[in-house]
Amino acid sequence: MTNSCYLGYFTLSCLISLIVFSVVIHDMDHGGGRWGMRTLTERGVSNRTRLNPYWENNPHPVVIFNVLPKSGSRTLNTLVGRLRRNITMANTMNDINESHEEKEYIINATIRSNETSFVYSHCHFKWMGPFGPKVGVRRPIYISVVRDPIERLASHYYFVRYGDGNANKTNASLQFREEMQSRHFSRESFDTCVLKEKRGCRNPVALMRHFSGDNRQSVDQALKNIDTRYMVVGIMEDYLSFLRILELRLPQVFGGISDIYKKERKGIISAMKTKHKRSVSKEVREILRKEMTRDYEVYEAIRLRFEILKLELGIS
């Protein structure tokens, strides 16, 4: 092996060690305690971030985009639609009145097809593929993207009240806005809602529940599912790197998507930006941070896994 190769491996190892050390120190500084001292595997970050065999060389993959609201999900759905590629797109949000069973039927029907497919799924995680090797049964490829839990919670709070620049442009968005308006939400600020201790601005384990699925609702279950079932869980705060990972891991679906994002970023962000969203005060952040410890365990583990994956794939 050449000296340059040795240097490359040494540099990669040092960078990974630095990230791990930094996050552990961050956890301990923020009261992470037990979580800060857990191993990477226990935290859902293993050395199995590389491609599983069924992700490689798959001519007709089916991608299930397991959506967490207000985390950049509609941006990805929009970008995939603009790839001008022969991709069957399925959406479990075309009708907000669809039952959970109807949504699962759409997903299962898409998996059973032999077409390259992208499923936009507003459901908590549920493994929809075969258990164990089964000839002729496609294994879905799960992806997702997350966001800082407090920022996501605040954005969702304002979104259900005011919508965004894309409101009222599709049947689904019209249905959603009519449904939200019929609930007559209070128009007080997110900060005020939290300080008054109202339930409408609290959802302390939304992220943990999203990835736990139908099984035991816990941080460990969420991290296990992320580690064993997801090709990648991206970070909204580093969206371009998320798109680059998708391109590198699944070019037959996502090739060219980062270029489209760079060209159309301003317009897409403007359309998807929540209206009348205010900054969250330091006081409210401190209150919520104490309530949302389990969601932050999951979020920080995802963030660490994401940074390691970037290093492995050479994304700076």
Per-residue pLDDT, 39: 41
Look at residue 224 and tell me whether its pLDDT is greater than 90. yes
Full DSSP string of 215-236: S--SHHHHHHHHHHHEEEEEEG
| Rg (the chain; Cα; Å) | 20
Question: CA 234 → CA 17, 65, 143, 270, distances in Å?
Answer: 21, 11, 8, 21
Which residue, 219, 51, 77, is CA-closest to 139?
A: 51
Average pLDDT, the chain: 81
Angle at alpha carbon of residue 161, lines to 125 and 107, rounded to 5°: 25
**Torsion angles phi and psi, residue 127, rounded to 5:** -70, 120
Per-residue pLDDT, 7: 47
Look at residue 189 and tell me whether its pLDDT is greater than 60. yes
89-136, pLDDT tens digit by residue? Answer: 998 876 666 787 888 888 889 988 888 999 999 888 999 887 666 555
Check residues 108 and 245 and name the one with the higher pLDDT.
245
Model confidence, pTM? 0.81
134 Cβ contact partners less than 8 Å away, ≥ 6 residues apart: none
Are 213 and 227 contacting, i.e. CB atoms less than 8 angstroms apart?
no
Check residues 40 and 80 and name the one with the higher pLDDT.
80
